[in-house]
Amino acid sequence: MSEDLNRSPSMDVDIAFLKSKRGILKVAEMVTFLVAFVCFTVAATPKYTTATVLEFLITLLLVLLYVLKLNKRLTFFFWPLMDMFNSLFATLYFTVLSLMALATYTVTGTLVGGIVGLMSAGLLFVDSYTLFKNITFNNPRSEAQNQNNE
């Protein structure tokens, strides 16, 4: 009985996710968000800084969700669909935000942040497209896995 009390719950860590295409894409998104954040902060534009930090944190939480395999434990959401909607919404939002930053820049930091924001929007679009391709709604799970493996 004392052995059961001494056993701590173990957390599975999926380092292979960070080496996968989606993991590399998520890390690249986080890097571009961080660069855009620094540029907007240097340019002292808080309206762009806030949106960039928020999307950085959302992407960081999704990466932690996949790396710690919490998506297997928290099954009340369909996480790939949530991730796809986040990426799609963020693509649209960052496209508009970056175009606004480019159109109204007065400081070089805002210009560079707008350009990096457009790069982030491109990465987010690729992420949402790959997630959309992988999500199947009409096929049973075993058929979907066979099609993805081919």
**Residue 55, domain member (yes or no):** yes
Q: Which of these, 92, 22, 12, 16, lies nearest to 62 by C-alpha position?
A: 22
**Residue 25, domain member (yes or no):** yes
Q: Express each pLDDT in 86-117 by its tens digit.
A: 999 999 999 999 999 889 888 888 899 999 99
Element (H, E) at 17: helix 15-19
**Residue 140, domain member (yes or no):** no
Cβ contact 33:56 at 8 Å: yes
Q: How far is CA 96 from the centre of its chain?
A: 18
Interaxial angle between packed helices 46-67 and 21-42, expressed in degrees from 0 to 180 and rounded to the nearest 10 = 160
Q: Express each pLDDT in 43-101 by its tens digit.
A: 887 888 999 999 999 999 999 988 988 878 888 878 888 888 999 999 999 999 999 98
pLDDT (0 to 100) of residue 28? 95
Q: Which tokens sit at 92? A: 């649209």
Instruction: For residue 78, give its domain range.
Output: 13-135
Q: Which of these, 58, 56, 32, 53, lies nearest to 114 by C-alpha position?
A: 32
**Residue 6, domain member (yes or no):** no
Q: Could you give the CA distance from residue 98 to residue 87 in angstroms, rounded to a whole number?
A: 16
**Residue 1, domain member (yes or no):** no
Residue 1 has pLDDT above 60, yes or no: no
> Biggest alpha carbon distance in the chain?
68
**Residue 4, domain member (yes or no):** no
**Residue 31, domain member (yes or no):** yes
Between residues 133 and 140, which one has the greater pLDDT? 133
**Residue 144, domain member (yes or no):** no
How many domains are contained in the chain?
A: 1
pLDDT (0 to 100) of residue 46? 82
